[in-house]
Chains A and B, each alone.
Chain A
Amino acid sequence: DADVTQTPRNRITKTGKRIMLECSQTKGHDRMYWYRQDPGLGLRLIYYSFDVKDINKGEISDGYSVSRQAQAKFSLSLESAIPNQTALYFCATSDRPGQGSDTQYFGPGTRLTVL
């Protein structure tokens, strides 16, 4: 879905480095999310934001921080990257669930490798 974009698409970094993953959306959705995907573990929620002033921790927030710069932009930072943060990271958006749906629309993913 071209409406949710992530940069970079691939990143290799070293232990201890600070890195930022960026997400932008043109869907006009209020809600944005960051997930990580690991083989055999599915997708796990890192942080979510229901609007610019509302940011919440997900199930695995330790070692990560986020910034919601605008309705359309949501960034994920790794303050000091470690090898077990090597994973595929997805940004997602969703609309307010007024129609009985909480569908997540995913970006293309960022493959992060921490050496």
Chain B
Amino acid sequence: GENVEQHPSTLSVQEGDSAVIKCTYSDSASNYFPWYKQELGKRPQLIIDIRSNVGEKKDQRIAVTLNKTAKHFSLHITETQPEDSAVYFCAASTGLLRAATYKYIFGTGTRLKVLA
């Protein structure tokens, strides 16, 4: 079946360094790619998203890039801070169009630790 692969599963960086998390999707009908942050004991919350007709999007210290040909997208966090420590999930959705079958598939998550 369709899936989303996410790497790495854990990532430790020094405060101030950059972090990159990568995801690969298989369903070519995917047209929306969100990233969620889940802090310990909390619910997932959207931090940034990108549509399939856009190659890159940036919001302050975070950015997402999309390569439709290769079917992969990445989250970039610059100048990391301790409060960036959390689990990050990517997802691929077919939801922006009237797809025959709606899919919203999450990656397995990356636990990011920012070391002070």
| A42 pairs with B108, CB closer than 8 A | yes
How many chain B residues sit at the interface, stated as a range, is 20 to 34
Q: Does A80 contact B (CB under 8 A)?
A: no
Which of A59, A102, A107 is the most central at the interface, judged by chain B CB atoms within 10 Å of its CB?
Answer: A102
Q: Which residues on the A side are within 8 Å of B102 (C-beta)?
A: 48, 50, 56
Residue in A closest to B109 when the chains form the complex, CB atoms: A42
Q: Tell me the bound Cα distance from A94 to B51 in angstroms.
A: 16
Q: How far is the CB of B116 from chain A (nearest CB, A)?
A: 26
Q: Does A90 contact B (CB under 8 A)?
A: yes
Q: Tell me the bound Cα distance from A98 to B15 in angstroms.
A: 38
How many chain A residues sit at the interface, stated as a range, is 20 to 34
Q: Does B43 contact A (CB under 8 A)?
A: yes
| A97 pairs with B104, CB closer than 8 A | no
Which listed residue, B34, B42, B109, touches A103 by the CB 8 Å rule? B34
Q: Which residues on the A side are within 8 Å of B45 (C-beta)?
A: 1, 106
Map CB proximity to B onto A90-115 as digits: 1 under 8 Å, 0 otherwise.
Answer: 10001001001111101111000000
